[in-house]
Amino acid sequence: MKTNITIFLAAYCMCVFRATTALSNSPASKKSKPVSIPSLGASQFRHPLDKQLTSMVQRLPLYDLAELGLRNTFPLVEQTVRLDLLSSCVKVSKEQLSHVYDLLLEACDILNLPKASIPELYVQSSPQANAYTLALQPKGNNSPSVIVITSALVDRCTLPELQAIIGHELGHLKCEHSLYLTLGGLASTPLRQLPFIGSQVDTALQEWRLAAEYTCDRASLLVAQDVQVVASALLKLFAGTSRYELDPKAFVQQAMEYEKQLETANPLVKLSIEQQRRTHPLPVKRVAELEKWAKSTEYRNLVEVR
């Protein structure tokens, strides 16, 4: 059982929360210093489906025992990952890439992450703009979690965009998606072996993973407090280029057009679109969802100056 948990945790940490992001310099930037949200809890920005399924996992029989087992197994994964990063990456600190370190600290403050949960941040050499995390907060004497950003990401993005991406990864950490998605996957294993029901359970888990990404896009927005910064990042991911000037506002309008046309699309077309989403939502869908939340009372109540 312990081996299975380790495998599941490693898979979710290193695959599910690997967020490919192509970014470059952009006119999109924060208009003012973002406000901190001192009392922010994960449930306040979770996507509704993410919140619902997380709550279901927390009510499972023997949940406390399963959580303890997973948390006791996590250090094995964390130690392996940390040693690899220390041997091959650059650790961000007050002395090393201090301006990036400041972005991390500010983002943690905005999202109300306790000092003990502030992750270590590493820069990994890669031509692909990317970021990922071990999405589980440390307990007791455990070492802090880690976030990895690639050198291409650091080179191409503006500071507000880079901080927004860090905010996305911090969202996974604050919500402890590795813990809940892994426990949900383990608890549903018997059902996934059953005919007919199995495919429905797989679909539900897939929808949960997508909802977790929407949740962390919300965390990204809470850090940036400018929807254009987050939209700019997704636009460049979708376009696949940083050589030409791209307009985030036009991309937001494109997202609205997508939503409108999807409502009247043929059911077979809708099914085809659903199959394209895989582990991460379509970029244009993410922008559409984020735009809706940015206009909501829920978001405004969180970021209004107190």
Active site residues: 169
The pair phi, psi for residue 19, each rounded to 5°, is -105, 100
The structure tokens 């490919």 sit at 20
Using an 8 Å Cβ cutoff, are 130 and 153 in contact?
A: yes
**Could you give the residue ranges of the DSSP H alpha helices within 125-226?**
151-156, 159-175, 177-187, 189-192, 197-224
Q: How many angstroms separate the CA atoms of 16 and 279, rounded?
A: 7
Q: How many angstroms separate the CA atoms of 22 and 55, rounded?
A: 33
Q: How many angstroms separate the CA atoms of 7 and 170, rounded?
A: 22
Taking CA atoms, 104 is separated from 19, 126, 143, 167, in Å, by 17, 20, 17, 8
Plot region of 111 (φ>0 → left; ψ -120 to 50 → alpha; else → beta):
alpha
